[in-house]
């Protein structure tokens, strides 16, 4: 029997977060530095009072039941929490938390890096050089698309979407956005942003950037029909969740030049990538690097740990997740 609460951590986290967790209980850190199988995840959770989970961990009622009645909190080290059955955990009296805010700027930076890479053909150019293929400068060589005066369509103008819009505004882009709710008037005024319907956004945007959460309504939001609605000269950028895009449909659209290009940091069946995307020069791919700075990933893990510590000492969580109504 443990006198202290057991805190199950499903994958290695920065030492700063472990230090916080050790003040709250006995840390049980998975020895496997990889995504756990469902059986391994339930085994890791057995008897736990708290679980610190990663975005690839499916935390459902079965995992909560494996932990048993002692489970009080699941702290997801991510903003998104589509990997957690929040309703099932709420039924068992378990608090769920996430890590919003701390990764906003890093993800917006990466989004804009991908946007520039695909519109200016940076990845394609680097591959040409690394392959030691002959080239010479001329006025028609590897022409890309400029951004000044172009329209950026942001799907989901939350914290990250707003941060991306600020960067786009500095590049001279016009901003339109769509989403479930209208942004604050002050946010619209600051960004010079206009709300549009999703169909209009697709039709008028030169770049479509996705920043909506993954929900049943947004799964495959970008499908064959949506891609057909975009300009042939338009680009798609996805740094939110992979299943928001139907990858096979995207590969087909790019192969037939229905849109000009795409840049993806997340994938529908991560870590696998749709094979049809891999050989296309019009695609820029990154392995889920949106929050991948030392500072940001450390802040995320520390915030998750602080949520655990707060709940275990009887205080409200810093960033709780409410079950969807």
Task: Flag whether 150 is in a domain.
Answer: yes
Same domain, 37 and 74: yes
Cα gap 208→239, rounded to integer Å: 11
Task: Flag whether 321 is in a domain.
Answer: no
Q: Which domain holds residue 151?
A: 104-285
Task: Flag whether 81 is in a domain.
Answer: yes
Question: Which pLDDT tens digit goes with each residue over 15-40?
Answer: 999 999 999 999 999 999 899 999 99
Question: Which pLDDT tens digit goes with each residue over 171-184?
Answer: 999 999 999 999 99
Same domain, 92 and 111: no
Q: What is the CATH number of the domain that holds 195?
A: 3.40.50.720
59 three-class SS = strand
pLDDT of residue 9: 98
Question: Quick one: which of 215, 196, 110, 106 has its CA closest to 153?
Answer: 196
The stretch 74-89 carries a mean pLDDT of 96
Percent of the chain beyond pLDDT 90? 97
Percent of the chain beyond pLDDT 70? 99
- List residues with catalytic annotation: 241, 270, 288
Same domain, 146 and 54: no
Q: What is the dihedral of CA 186, 187, 191, 197, to 10 degrees?
A: -120
Task: Flag whether 323 is in a domain.
Answer: no
| pLDDT band at residue 151 using 50, 70 and 90 as cut-offs | very high
Tokens, residue 222: 């970008």
pLDDT at 83 over 70: yes
Which helix (H) or strand (E) segment is 91 a member of? helix 86-91
Question: Which pLDDT tens digit goes with each residue over 215-266?
Answer: 999 999 999 999 999 999 999 999 999 999 999 999 999 999 999 999 999 9
Task: Flag whether 53 is in a domain.
Answer: yes
pLDDT at 316 over 80: yes
Same domain, 38 and 125: no
Same domain, 62 and 197: no
Average pLDDT, the chain: 96
Task: Flag whether 281 is in a domain.
Answer: yes
Question: Quick one: which of 223, 227, 262, 276 has its CA closest to 246?
Answer: 223
pLDDT at 268 over 50: yes
pLDDT at 1 over 50: no
Task: Flag whether 112 is in a domain.
Answer: yes
pLDDT at 306 over 50: yes
Cα gap 189→28, rounded to integer Å: 48
pLDDT of residue 325: 58
pTM reported for the whole predicted model: 0.93
The stretch 185-202 carries a mean pLDDT of 97
Domain total in the chain: 2
Beta strands in the chain (DSSP E): 6-9, 26-29, 50-53, 73-76, 95-97, 151-155, 174-178, 193-195, 207-210, 235-238, 261-264, 283-285
Same domain, 140 and 130: yes
The stretch 70-91 carries a mean pLDDT of 96
pLDDT at 161 over 50: yes
- At residue 96, φ and ψ (nearest 5 deg) are -115, 135
List strands edge to edge, sheet with 73-76: 26-29, 6-9, 50-53, 73-76, 95-97
| pLDDT band at residue 324 using 50, 70 and 90 as cut-offs | confident
Same domain, 190 and 74: no
Task: Flag whether 318 is in a domain.
Answer: no
């Amino acid at each position: 029997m443990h006198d202290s609460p057991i805190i199950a951590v499903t994958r290695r986290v920065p030492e700063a977060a472990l230090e916080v967790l050790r003040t709250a209980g006995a840390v049980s850190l998975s020895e496997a530095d990889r995504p756990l199988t469902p059986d391994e995840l339930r085994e890791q959770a057995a008897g736990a009072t708290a679980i610190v989970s990663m975005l690839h961990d499916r935390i459902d009622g079965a995992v909560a039941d494996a932990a048993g009645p002692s489970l009080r909190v699941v702290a997801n080290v991510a903003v998104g929490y589509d990997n957690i059955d929040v309703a099932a955990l709420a039924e068992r009296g378990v608090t769920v938390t996430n890590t919003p805010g701390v990764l906003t700027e890093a993800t917006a930076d990466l989004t804009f890096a991908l946007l520039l890479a695909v519109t200016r053909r940076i990845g394609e150019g680097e591959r040409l050089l690394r392959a030691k293929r002959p080239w010479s400068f001329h006025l028609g060589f590897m022409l890309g698309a400029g951004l000044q005066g172009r329209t950026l369509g942001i799907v989901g103008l939350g914290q990250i979407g707003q941060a991306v819009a600020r960067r786009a505004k500095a590049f001279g882009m016009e901003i339109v956005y769509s989403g479930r709710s209208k942004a604050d008037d002050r946010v619209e005024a600051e960004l010079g942003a206009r709300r549009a319907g999703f169909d209009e956004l697709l039709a008028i945007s030169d770049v479509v950037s996705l920043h909506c959460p993954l929900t049943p309504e947004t799964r495959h939001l970008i499908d064959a029909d949506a891609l057909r609605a975009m300009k042939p000269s338009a680009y798609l950028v996805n740094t939110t969740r992979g299943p928001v895009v139907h990858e096979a449909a995207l590969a087909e659209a790019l192969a037939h030049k229905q849109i000009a290009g795409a840049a993806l940091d997340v994938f529908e069946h991560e870590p696998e990538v749709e094979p049809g995307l891999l050989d296309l020069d019009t695609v820029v791919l990154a392995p889920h690097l949106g929050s991948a700075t030392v500072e940001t990933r450390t802040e995320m893990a520390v915030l998750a740990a602080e949520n655990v510590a707060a709940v275990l000492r009887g205080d409200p969580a810093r960033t709780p997740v409410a079950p969807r109504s």
